[in-house]
């Protein structure tokens, strides 16, 4: 007599079944001879004519194992992210210091000029409609977070979309080294490349720093999409929701939770995170150092002064470094 063969395997968390026996939905009703099983999922509600109960037990056992593995993977993801937070949180402290100073000091007009330049160059590159220009939408959102008047925003859009002044605007990335050779990235928007270059070079020299050659520093950073949540903490359920979306990292800062994603997926993640019910405070692109450096408190004070002086330049948009503040 031929021997009935039944095989149950689990591949990538999916149960797969192979057998050459006939089956019935009910023990008392039999299908025609030769009828083959075409839908493996049917096994969850069908009883095999021979040893069906044992196979169903095996199916349930495999399903339990797969569910347990998935839970373990999620727990590992949470632990990995919590551990990684320690490594990532330090590098962005300067950005927080700069943001707070911009909201409280007496130099708001200079900050508005920087924000307007970012809006103008975004409108110049991809057009004046923020619904069709994500970069412009991002620049407008940032300007509003600094309480920039709507009239100023509209003027900046118009300037970028149609004026001859916008033709001279360009974005520049300066690769540099500060005191004791720590890498720095300086992003600027300017209508006069030579003037901006001379000003930045002068400040760096003052602090015993220097400009680097093209490619000397940029490789030490990677660009990420950054989403700052209004939450100051997350529970395990919320962390799992973000992990299941596929975010790169979740960082707990002093007052906010920051989510990092791939830059080309930033706006897609922004919408998905909103759909989950999270409130977003700020969205931006940021350069993250691949490795950070711990320096002395004395050096930190020198770098803070250097960064403040660089940031006082109207053309300087952002400053990134490998230093942990």
The label of the residue with tokens 């919320």 reads 238
* Lowest mean pLDDT, pick from 113-127, 161-175, 193-207, 292-306: 161-175
pLDDT at site 30: 42
- Which residue did the predictor score with more confidence, 76 or 25? 76
238 pLDDT band (50/70/90 cuts)? confident
pLDDT tens figures, 280-325: 988 989 999 999 999 999 999 999 999 999 998 989 999 999 998 7
**CA triplet 102, 105, 108: central angle to 5 degrees?**
60
For the chain, the structural domain boundaries read 6-70
Whether the CA torsion 147, 149, 155, 157 is positive or negative: it is positive
pLDDT tens figures, 180-192: 999 999 999 998 9
How are beta strands 6-11 and 23-24 bridged, if at all? unpaired
Rounded CA-CA distance 100/3 in Å is: 77
Other Cβ atoms less than 10 A from the Cβ of 76: the count is 10
- Which residue did the predictor score with more confidence, 85 or 223? 223
Average pLDDT over every residue of 246-251: 89
How are beta strands 183-190 and 210-211 bridged, if at all? unpaired
């Amino acid at each position: 007599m031929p021997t009935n063969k039944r095989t149950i395997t689990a591949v990538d968390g999916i149960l797969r079944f192979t057998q050459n026996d006939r089956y019935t939905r009910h023990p008392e009703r039999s299908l025609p001879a030769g009828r083959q099983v075409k839908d493996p999922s049917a096994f969850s509600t069908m009883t095999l004519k021979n040893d069906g109960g044992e196979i169903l037990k095996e199916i349930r056992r495999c399903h339990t194992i797969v569910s347990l593995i998935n839970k373990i993977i999620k727990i590992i993801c949470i632990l990995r992210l919590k551990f990684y937070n320690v490594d990532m949180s330090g590098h962005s402290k300067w950005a927080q210091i700069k943001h707070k100073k911009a909201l409280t000091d007496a130099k708001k007009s200079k900050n508005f000029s920087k924000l307007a330049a970012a809006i103008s160059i975004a409108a110049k590159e991809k057009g004046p409609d923020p619904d069709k220009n994500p970069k412009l939408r991002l620049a407008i959102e940032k300007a509003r977070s600094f309480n920039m008047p709507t009239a100023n925003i509209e003027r900046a859009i118009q300037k970028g979309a149609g004026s001859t002044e916008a033709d001279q605007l360009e974005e520049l990335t300066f690769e540099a080294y500060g005191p004791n050779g720590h890498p720095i990235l300086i992003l600027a928007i300017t209508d006069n490349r030579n003037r901006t270059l001379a000003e930045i070079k002068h400040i760096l020299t003052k602090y015993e720093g220097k400009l680097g050659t093209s490619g000397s520093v940029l490789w030490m950073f990677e660009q990420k999409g950054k989403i700052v949540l209004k939450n100051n903490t997350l529970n395990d359920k919320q962390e799992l929701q973000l992990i299941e979306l596929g975010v790169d990292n979740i960082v707990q800062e002093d007052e906010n939770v920051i989510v990092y994603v791939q830059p080309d997926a930033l706006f897609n993640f922004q919408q998905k995170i909103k759909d989950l019910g999270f409130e977003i405070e700020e969205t931006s692109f940021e350069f993250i150092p691949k490795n950070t450096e711990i320096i002395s408190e004395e050096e930190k004070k020198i770098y803070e002064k250097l960064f403040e002086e660089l940031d006082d330049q109207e053309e300087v948009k952002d400053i990134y470094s490998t230093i942990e503040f």
